[in-house]
């Protein structure tokens, strides 16, 4: 929580993984955030944030993007300023997908060393959290041969405060298909 009865305000989702073994194609994992309006909280997203982009209003931004896992610590980081989202947004779902090359066999999370995600507050580095509170830490290798996964759901209550729910669920889908059913989770 970010203050007494204020709910979540600013959250960071951070992803890390080890590089592919020498001689193997690089592993490219991508964080994806989808924002949903009150009119369709489980329908198609109003917008997506992925591939080193930010939301139209700047409240959700992917500010670190790796295509190899060669980052120092965090390979990808997504910041959500939930307290600044327009009132029409009531739900944000965050997921991760593995880019697949047509030349490669399907690469699942189990074959990517040390793939993990943390959800934390904005002041921390590699977690899903708020402030100093870690909300979640997930080892993505437990998802086996899944190639995409939902990670977290943030929902706005009737009082305007934001809450977090863990939503770790694996799927066999490429990034484009995954974004189509991300909100149904």
* 41 within domain boundaries: yes
- Cβ distance 76 to 168 under 8 Å? no
Q: Does some domain include residue 97?
A: yes
- Asked whether the beta carbons of 46 and 56 are under 8 A apart, the reply is no
Q: Looking at the predicted structure, is the pLDDT value of residue 162 above 50?
A: yes
Tell whether 53 is covered by a domain. Answer: yes
**Residue 75 falls inside a structural domain:** yes
- Check whether 80 has a pLDDT greater than 60: yes
**Does 2 map to a domain?**
no
Query: Tell me, what CATH number does 59's domain have?
Result: 2.60.60.30
The predicted model gives 149-164 an average pLDDT of: 93
Please indicate, yes or no, whether the overall pTM of this predicted structure exceeds 0.75: yes
**In Å, how far are 8, 146, 152 from 129, measured between CA atoms?**
9, 25, 11
Supply the pLDDT for residue 61. 92
Give the pLDDT confidence score for residue 114 in this predicted structure. Answer: 80
| % the chain with pLDDT above 70 | 81
pLDDT of the residue at 22: 84
Q: Which domain holds residue 142?
A: 10-184
Report yes or no on 18 lying in a domain.
yes
The tens digit of pLDDT for each residue in 14-70 reads 888 777 788 877 778 889 999 999 999 999 999 999 876 889 999 999 876 665 556
Three-class secondary structure assignment of the chain: CCCCCCCECEEEEEEECCCCCCCCCCCCEEEEEEEEECCCCCCCCCEEECCCCECCCCCEEEEECCCCCCCCCCCEEEEEEHHHCCCCEEEEEEEEEECCCCCCCCCCHHHCCCCEEEEEECCCCCCEEECCEEEEEEEHHHHCCCCEEEEEEEEECCCCCEEEEEEEEEECCCHHHHHHHHHHC
Q: Which pair of structure tokens corresponds to residue 85?
A: 């989202």
Tally of structural domains, the chain: 1
Range of weakest confidence among 9-23, 74-88, 119-133 = 119-133
d(CA 168, CA 152): 7
Q: What is the mean pLDDT of the chain?
A: 81
> Is residue 72 domain-resident?
yes
Indicate whether 4 belongs to any domain: no
Q: Residue 178: pLDDT above 50? A: yes
């Amino acid at each position: 929580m970010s203050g007494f009865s204020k709910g979540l305000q600013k959250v960071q989702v951070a992803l890390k993984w080890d590089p592919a073994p020498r001689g193997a194609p690089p592993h490219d994992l991508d964080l994806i955030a989808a924002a949903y309006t009150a009119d369709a909280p489980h329908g198609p997203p109003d917008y997506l944030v992925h591939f080193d982009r930010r939301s139209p209003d700047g409240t959700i931004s992917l500010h670190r993007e790796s295509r190899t896992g060669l980052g120092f610590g965090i390979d990808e980081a997504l910041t959500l300023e939930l307290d600044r989202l327009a009132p029409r947004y009531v739900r944000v779902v965050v997921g991760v997908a593995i880019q697949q090359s047509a030349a490669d066999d399907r690469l699942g999370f189990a074959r990517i060393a040390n793939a993990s995600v943390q959800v934390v507050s904005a002041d921390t580095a590699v977690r899903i959290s708020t402030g100093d509170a870690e909300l979640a830490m997930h080892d993505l290798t437990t998802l086996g041969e899944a190639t995409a996964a939902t990670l977290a759901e943030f929902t706005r209550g009737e009082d305007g405060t934001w809450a977090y729910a863990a939503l770790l669920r694996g799927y066999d889908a490429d990034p484009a298909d995954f974004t189509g059913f991300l909100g149904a989770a």
